[in-house]
Amino acid sequence: MNSLLQVDQLSRYFGPIRAVADLSFTVTRGEILGFLGPNGAGKSTTMKMMTGNLAPSAGQVKINGFDLLDQPRQAKAQIGYLPEQPPLYRELTVDEYLAYSARLNRIERGRLKAAVNTAKERCGLTGVGRRLIGNLSKGFQQRVGIAQAIIHMPELVILDEPTVGLDPIQIREIRSLIRELGQEHSVILSTHILPEVQAVCDRVQIIDKGELVYSDTIDGLDRRMQSSSLLLAMHNPPAEQELLAITGVTAVEPASSGYMRIHFDPQNNPAQQLVEASVAAGWALYELTPERMSLEQVFVDITCSEHVVEQQEVS
Amino acid sequence: MMMLTVARRELRSLFLSPLAWTILAVVQVILAYLFFSQIEFFMQIQARLTGMQAVPGITEIIVAPMFGNAAIILLLVVPLLTMRLISDERRNQTLSLLFSAPLSMTEIVLGKFLGISAFLLLIVVLIMLMPLSLLVGGSLDFGMLASACLGLILLLASFTALGLYMSSLTAQPTIAAISSFGALLLLWVLDWGGGSSDASAGQGVMAYLSLVRHYEALLKGAFNSADIIYYLLFIITFLVLSVRRLDAERMQS
């Protein structure tokens, strides 16, 4: 049994509003899963349901084989959760707070100190153990939140937008911390910042309006981002027919300021043939750029195309 | 075990804020003043008492009124202690730390209840020290003292359970404080109507529901298991309601 988390047809309604609908996915051991979606897509709701903070309207969550509703104690022992706003008691010191959360997670008295020290070390908190949480900067508070989530060495760490509100350096540090966590734990990470997913995750899931619209590995997403077009600039451009004759080229269209855009079949990249033809026929090709879609475009593509389908279904 | 962890944190946070110390100081000052004025009253009437038969003892004259006053003062104080219990955690979104940890709602609620109860027990101990100081110059009716003490403990536990429930209803500590204060006061004055001579059956029931009726019996040293059961039922009812309220929060919210 390799899947650590199984989510099965999870739905959640807030009154008539559908926040999450029929969501099913699995997370395997040692995987970092990126949970991507625009604001209000249902990311946080899903995460709350996976951690027992919110009861699902329908569906099932199984963590390491334990059902979250039937055996909540065993299931919750397997997870560490950092909500969107870290659940910190501002009046406690970092040490006190971590000791408290260690005790809440049933760490025995003898191992308590070691657990607190390990968590502090991993999150870079060794110097601030005696300081009050309320006096720490946002970045450090976020780290305390992550330390709280990993203190009992859970199989699965669930982080809800862990880098929101941090400065770029802190973001980099938190990201490398998450990558480090991924070596020993499975991690689910929600975000609406796309490069973050590329930087950290093994697999991506995009959810929109409570539905899973895309699920693939990072490599798959990369491939999807390689769009099938080239941008050419030539001093003596040939007729369109000549370009279309080259194997692989499917369409030619003029682009702005003398450029031409060539669409091609992804299996058959015609770049080399184009250069050779240019040399042979004297087109004076001086620029050839493979066009690459940004993650944003892919994201918009995926979330928007889904809407079109939906609207068609309705009409 | 887990509820003791929650209770310990609750108690610790209480003493980290000035609130706990202020409450201890204020309650102690007021009760000490009342205690001394009661002693003074006893000194005045002592001479007259010597000639009478079946005189009330020192415990009856000094201890019973002081415990009665303590109950009223603590009725004002307990809502301030219980108001933050759940509402503050809800507002700061720290509840999810408890919800996603492997512990049940019952453990959370009992932990918070025990934390505040421990603090109130400390107040009761401090109050007890005052009558015990009379042992220097006289003797006390220990049975009566124990019964009054038990009554005060049960009464405070009831206040706490109700305050905890009110705190679980809202995200605003002040609203929790006002509504638990209102509910406690209402339960306190319920027997005022029932006290009159033409008390109908309905008023009798109201008086029976009153928190104060059962406490007064215990202050007189009358240990009646019905009074004890009344308080225990009261406490259990509000604790169960709090657990259910937290469970419902996961369902609805």
Q: What would the mean pLDDT of A266-295 be, rounded to a whole number? A: 79
Name the phi and psi angles at A68, rounded to 5.
-65, -30
Long-range CB contacts (< 8 A, 24+ apart) of B37-46? B38/B62, B38/B65, B38/B66
Alpha-carbon distance of A158 to A178, in angstroms, equals 11
Prediction pTM value: 0.83
- What would the pLDDT profile of A286-301 be if each residue is shown by its tens digit? 888 887 766 667 777 7
Cβ within 8 Å of B, A 14-43: 14
- What would the pLDDT profile of A185-242 be if each residue is shown by its tens digit? 899 998 877 778 888 888 888 888 888 888 888 877 777 766 677 888 888 878 778 7
Per mean pLDDT, which of A79-83, A311-315, B43-47 is the most reliable? Answer: A79-83
Cβ within 8 Å of A, B 94-123: 94-104
List of chain A residues whose C-beta atoms are within 8 Å of the C-beta of residue B17: 91
Question: Do the chains contact at B98 and A104, CB–CB below 8 Å?
Answer: yes
Name the phi and psi angles at B189, rounded to 5.
-90, 0
Given CB atoms, is A85 within the 8 Å cutoff of chain B?
yes
**CA-based nearest distance B74→chain A, Å:** 26
Alpha-carbon distance of A36 to A189, in angstroms, equals 8
Alpha-carbon distance of B194 to B240, in angstroms, equals 29
Least confident residue range of A36-40, A44-48, B80-84, B194-198: B194-198
**CA-based nearest distance A178→chain B, Å:** 20
- What would the pLDDT profile of A144-154 be if each residue is shown by its tens digit? 999 999 999 89
The predicted complex's ipTM stands at: 0.85
Q: What is each CA distance from B44 to B39, B50, B65, in whole angstroms?
A: 9, 12, 16
Q: Which of A110, A106, A89, A96 is nearest to B2 (CA)?
A: A106
Please give the CATH architecture assigned to the domain spanning A3-223.
3-Layer(aba) Sandwich (3.40)
Q: What is the mean pLDDT of chain A?
A: 84
Question: Do the chains contact at A73 and B102, CB–CB below 8 Å?
Answer: yes
**CA-based nearest distance A46→chain B, Å:** 13
Please give the CATH architecture assigned to the domain spanning A228-290.
2-Layer Sandwich (3.30)
* Domain chopping of chain A, boundaries: 3-223, 228-290
Which of A303 and A314 is assigned the larger pLDDT? Answer: A303
Q: Which of B56, B111, B59 is nearest to B85 (CA)?
A: B111
Distance of CA A192 to the CA centre of its chain: 8
Alpha-carbon distance of A36 to A52, in angstroms, equals 21
Which of B157 and A174 is assigned the larger pLDDT? Answer: B157
Q: What is each CA distance from A304 to A11, A35, A217, B34, B182, in whole angstroms?
A: 22, 17, 20, 74, 54
Among the partner residues A81, A87, A104, nearest to B103 by beta-carbon distance? A104
**CA-based nearest distance A157→chain B, Å:** 12
Structure tokens at B66: 């002081």
Among the partner residues A53, A87, A91, nearest to B16 by beta-carbon distance? A91
- What would the pLDDT profile of B192-245 be if each residue is shown by its tens digit? 765 555 556 666 777 778 888 889 888 888 888 999 999 999 999 999 999 999
As beta bridge partners, residue A10 has A23
Residue range(s) defining the domain that contains residue B246: 2-251
Q: What is each CA distance from A270 to A222, A227, A250, A265, A267, in whole angstroms?
A: 20, 14, 10, 9, 10
Q: Which residue has the tokens 């709350």?
A: A48
Question: Do the chains contact at B100 and A51, CB–CB below 8 Å?
Answer: yes
